[in-house]
Amino acid sequence: MQKVYLAGPDVFLPDAIAAGRRKKELCAEFGFEGLYPFDNEISPTASGERVDRLIYRANERMIRRADFGIFNLTPFQGPSADVGTVFELGMLAGLGKRVFGYTNVTDDLLDRCQRFGKLTFDPVEKVWRDSAGMSFEDFGNADNLMIDNSLTEHGGYPIVRHQALAGELFRDLTGFKACLRLAAEAISKTA
């Protein structure tokens, strides 16, 4: 049975464990075993090791055990995806494993950056810049080019964009289910 690492800001939901359970049930419907970070129950140990370090180690071990990953790349705390999720995306891609991703907003990164901070157009270099002069990508991507392109290069499909209702931003599983279908398709092609 193929093991899929389930990454996303879902771990910050008030009912994070139930949210993970729901994703694992959906994985099982596709014949996959879902690996969810909250399966790593970490409690302070007699060793006195920091809890956050133990969580890191457990997550990395889980990533290395996984056959592929599905990433919830919905913007979180700013115009881009959750950085913890993005770190894990880089790790799976580096390990040469398949990665699939979805976002629960449909707009481009640049549109969100425009709203996040005032950008002005630099007519010489033909780029948008913020007040500090930092330039912004304009490739029509959902997020930073490393994110969008890692999915096409290492999974074979672009990011799935779906507009969730405001209250369902971190709960809507439409894009997640689409990723499960893409993963099943990709795996069946190489089986």
Question: Mapped to the 3 state alphabet, what secondary structure does 41-85 carry?
Answer: CCCCCCCCCCHHHHHHHHHHHHHHHCCEEEEECCECCCCCECHHH
The answer to the question of residue 69 lying near its own copies (CB under 8 A) is: no
Angle at 54 between CA 50 and CA 60, to 5 degrees: 145
Select from 25-33, 100-108, 134-142, 181-189 the region that touches its own copies (CB under 8 A): 134-142
Q: Is 135 near its own copies (CB under 8 A)?
A: yes
* Ranges within 90-109 binding its own copies (CB under 8 A): 90-95
Q: Which residue from 26, 55, 110, 187 is in contact with its own copies, where contact means CB under 8 A?
A: 55
Measured at the alpha carbon of residue 184, what is the angle toward residues 187 and 149, in degrees to the nearest 5?
Answer: 75
* Cβ at position 183, least distance to its own copies in Å: 19
**Tokens at residue 8, please?**
């996303």
Q: Is 163 in the site for its own copies (CB under 8 A)?
A: no
CA distance 73 to 70: 9
Q: How many residues bind its own copies (CB under 8 A)?
A: 59
Q: Does 76 bind its own copies (CB under 8 A)?
A: yes
The HSE-up count of residue 68 (CA atoms within 13 Å, CB side) is 21
The window from 25-33, 46-54, 174-182, 183-191 that contacts its own copies (CB under 8 A) reads 46-54
Distances (CA, A) of 156 to 93, 100, 137: 12, 8, 22
Binding residues for its own copies (CB under 8 A): 9, 12-14, 16, 50-53, 55-57, 59-60, 63, 76-84, 86-95, 113, 116-117, 125, 129, 132-137, 139, 141, 143-150, 152-153, 169-170
